[in-house]
Structure 1
Amino acid sequence: MADMQDNFVVHTFGIQIDGVQLEQLKSISGLGMQQDVITSQHVTDKGVVYTRKQPGAKTPGSVTITRGMDKSKALGDWIKETYEKGDVTKGRKNVTIEMKDNTGKTVRRITLMRAWASSWQSGDLIAGQTNAVDESVTIEFEEMKVEDS
């Protein structure tokens, strides 16, 4: 019988923007990749129709990160490169997401290549509430690389 292994857990992960670790992080959503499917039908010399499917173009993706808003400038400075300065060249960074096991060891590293922030949103500000303020950032990327440790 094969060794039984534990699944990766959802609560131990980290994110880096061009090697700079974000200190606080609540969630990452939308992480995935997609590839078009090309479907073509053919007929054999015996008149039998069959269907072939093959991979097509890769579709770039996007992820949304949510974190507690704090004094850290790393995320804000990155967003300013494209939003305020319009400098897409400087704004494109590699974003690395690390999934960790229960001991804190990285078990999977996902790199989002040539990524940039397309939107930023603050959590609601409500008088009389005692909640912390979150911020959400949507990150567009052109390519995804997955490495298992």
Structure 2
Amino acid sequence: MALPDLDSSVGHSFGCEIDGIVIKHITEVSGLKMEQDVIDLKQNTMDGKFVIKKLPGRPKAGEVTLTRGLTGDNSFEKWIESAHFGKMSDARKGGAIIVYDYEGTAIKRYTLVNAWPKSLEIGALKAGDTSVLTEKLVITYEEMKPAA
């Protein structure tokens, strides 16, 4: 469902899809960006002025951090295990970060190419604490593109 021109999306709900398996209930997504190098071209103009032109360079790889409440689901742990044991053919996957509206309909999708887990962090364990335990998965990717 496309958004009308003047509406913006509310960060209501997020999900992660890795090789067709959707993991919902992601509470936070950070670091999702497309970036490329900038090349400085230094040259003189016809009238002798020195100018610097900015040219687009190579695309940069990126990292995205997903946070969710700690559950019995061990999909993050299984995925990172492949990378830690050097099974990169199993660890590198295609995937997407999905933004859902308040009705649960996907409104935006960001495709990740050759993504693999870099780290998994479990939130602080404190006796007597009443906050929700979380797990943070850092995924590195070679390319990110918004799905059309």
Corresponding residue number in structure 2 for 1:120 = 120
TM-score for the superposition, normalised by structure 2: 0.88
Farther-moved stretch of structure 1 (58-67 vs 68-77): 68-77
Matched, 1:18 2:45: no
Query: 1:126-145 maps to which residues of 2 (within 5 A)?
Result: 126-145=126-145
Q: Deviations over 1:98-134 (max 9, x none)?
A: 1233443322210111111111111111111222211
CA distance in 2, matches of 1:91, 1:4: 38
Contact 2:67 / 2:136 at 8 angstroms: preserved in 1?
yes
3-state SS of 1:50 partner: strand
Corresponding residue number in structure 1 for 2:35 = 34
Change over 3 Å in CA distance of 1:46–1:104 after alignment to 2: same
CA distance in 2, matches of 1:79, 1:55: 34
How many angstroms does 1:4 deviate by? 5.5
Percent identity, aligned pairs only, is 36
Corresponding residue number in structure 2 for 1:68 = 69
Contact 2:14 / 2:24 at 8 angstroms: preserved in 1?
no
Letter in 2 for 1:17: I
Letter in 1 for 2:53: R
Aligned residues: 145
CA distance in 1, matches of 2:46, 2:30: 49
Matched, 1:94 2:94: yes
Letter in 1 for 2:20: G
Change over 3 Å in CA distance of 1:45–1:5 after alignment to 2: closer
Change over 3 Å in CA distance of 1:86–1:101 after alignment to 2: same
CA RMSD of aligned residues (A): 1.7
CA distance in 2, matches of 1:23, 1:56: 35
Unaligned runs of 5+ in 2: none
Unaligned runs of 5+ in 1: none
TM-score for the superposition, normalised by structure 1: 0.87
CA distance in 2, matches of 1:68, 1:20: 18
Change over 3 Å in CA distance of 1:109–1:23 after alignment to 2: closer
Q: Deviations over 1:74-93 (max 9, x none)?
A: 2211111111x221111011
How many angstroms does 1:45 deviate by? 2.8
Q: Deviations over 1:44-97 (max 9, x none)?
A: 3332433321100111000111111111122211111111x2211110111211
